[in-house]
Amino acid sequence: MELFPAIDLLDGRAVRLYQGDYDRETIYNDDPVAQALLFAAQGARWIHVVDLDAARSGTPRNREVIAAIAEAVDVPVQTGGGVRDDAAADALFEAGVARVVLGTAALEDPALVRRLASRLPVAVGLDARGREVAVRGWEQGSGRDLLDVAREFADAGVEALIVTEIGRDGTLAGPDLVGLGEVLDATELPVIASGGVGVLDDLRALAALRSTGRSLAGAIVGRAIYEGAFTVHEALATLSES
């Protein structure tokens, strides 16, 4: 299972939100590029970057920062937030991003996902409160069921589904193992878990999760690393033992 240390960008800084609430942010680093370099130096094989400003508004306020991160590190960067048309995706790839994540667009314009996935590395971000998928930076409900949406992209050519339980994101309260198991049941696509990891045992539980003979492809981790629960190196060592 791959580890994706996360850098969430808001006003050019590395932050974490609590349960997706923009009014409950914690600033961890004023220099996201330095943070990315630290992750890479500790052995990260991927870095996950989210443009929170763009996720909410659709305006790519942090694109220059994302480009600087991609240029600075020698590992692939996976980026989401506000990718709602071909031009936004193309701009990120031109900036050096290795894979783009589409969330709101996946619900509102699934044809865009298929079109992009036919020519570029794409993942679909499914951010849910319970089973309802949220859009627009997690601020609006879509009325759509997580598992139904996951099934719809089975033949879309995407590389992975990134599944976030919003109620656990940034809480360190542990991942939603039951919900992730249901997603594994519903699709044959690789599934990357996000939200709730607080201790190394949470990573062990994610690595051990099996459903219909399948396991998770990866885990995105943010606050636990920033707050010193464990390092990237320790997380990688834990996953290599699992």
* Catalytic status, residue 127: yes
Pair of tokens at residue 174: 């542990």
198 CB-near residues (< 8 Å, 6+ apart): 171, 172, 173, 174, 223, 224, 229
Beta-carbon count within 10 A of 64 CB: 11
The yes-or-no answer on residue 21 being catalytic is: no
Instruction: Give the containing element (helix H, strand E) for 56.
Output: helix 52-57
The residue annotated as part of the active site, out of 30, 85, 109, 127, is: 127
Residues found in the chain: 242
DSSP β-ladder status, 191-194 and 160-165: parallel
Tokens of 17: 């939100």
Report residue 177 as tokens: 């193992």
Residues tagged active-site: 8, 127
